[in-house]
């Protein structure tokens, strides 16, 4: 399908699209996982056709060429879906194992820690969680945050002290008894 000017190329592509779109869409729709995937494959097929317009055979062979392109794209799409599915299954398995290995958490204590962390400045929360949850050393935290390891050590020490104070105030508030009703003898 030879086209010399941009206008000729556009006209040739529009003819190709007009003559093949219904058959090609039906072919793709029957094989794709869903209508969104079918639309993506159809669009990508015609994008490739536009890019390789001069290489497309003439006549009825153009339709077969498009079917071949669509077939290859459908195979790639199926392969990507399988890979994503396998990756998701592997990740889910790893998360289940990691969750099973964690020690049981006292929900009240976890809530108290969350409340205490939420009351801290963002910089303190970041450094504390990078240490406690991610297991990073001060040197590693320095690389993540773009500061020196010494500054991280000082900030970590101060953040731990602030967290301890916050936990003390949260715990004290939880232990404070409800005001009792005072009865007066009259």
**Domain extents for the chain?**
6-99, 107-175
- Distance CA(15)–CA(26), nearest Å, equals 18
Fold of 107-175: Arc Repressor Mutant, subunit A (1.10.10)
Q: What is the pLDDT of residue 180?
A: 42
* Three-state DSSP class for residue 88: helix
Q: What is the pLDDT of residue 171?
A: 56
What pLDDT, in 10s, does the model give residues 11-51? Answer: 999 999 999 999 999 999 999 988 999 999 999 999 999 99
Q: What is the pLDDT of residue 185?
A: 45
Q: What is the pLDDT of residue 181?
A: 42
Q: What is the pLDDT of residue 167?
A: 87
The parts of the chain modelled with pLDDT lower than 70 are 1-4, 100-104, 170-186
Return the DSSP state at 49: H
Second-level CATH architecture of 6-99: Orthogonal Bundle (1.10)
């Amino acid at each position: 399908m030879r086209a010399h000017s941009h206008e000729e190329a556009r006209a040739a592509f529009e003819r190709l699209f007009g003559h093949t779109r219904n058959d090609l869409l039906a072919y793709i729709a029957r094989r794709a996982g869903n209508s969104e995937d079918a639309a993506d494959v159809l669009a990508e097929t015609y994008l490739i056709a536009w890019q390789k317009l001069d290489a497309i055979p003439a006549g009825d062979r153009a339709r077969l060429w498009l079917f071949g392109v669509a077939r290859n794209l459908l195979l790639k799409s199926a392969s990507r879906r399988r890979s994503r599915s396998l990756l998701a299954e592997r990740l889910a398995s790893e998360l289940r194992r990691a969750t099973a290995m964690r020690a049981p958490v006292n929900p009240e204590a976890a809530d108290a820690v969350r409340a205490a962390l939420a009351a801290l400045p963002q910089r303190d929360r970041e450094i504390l969680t990078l240490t406690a949850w991610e297991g990073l050393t001060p040197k590693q935290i320095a690389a993540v945050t773009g500061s020196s390891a010494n500054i991280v050590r000082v900030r970590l020490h101060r953040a731990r002290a602030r967290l301890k104070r916050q936990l003390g105030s949260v715990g004290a508030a939880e232990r404070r008894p409800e005001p009792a009703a005072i009865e007066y003898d009259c």
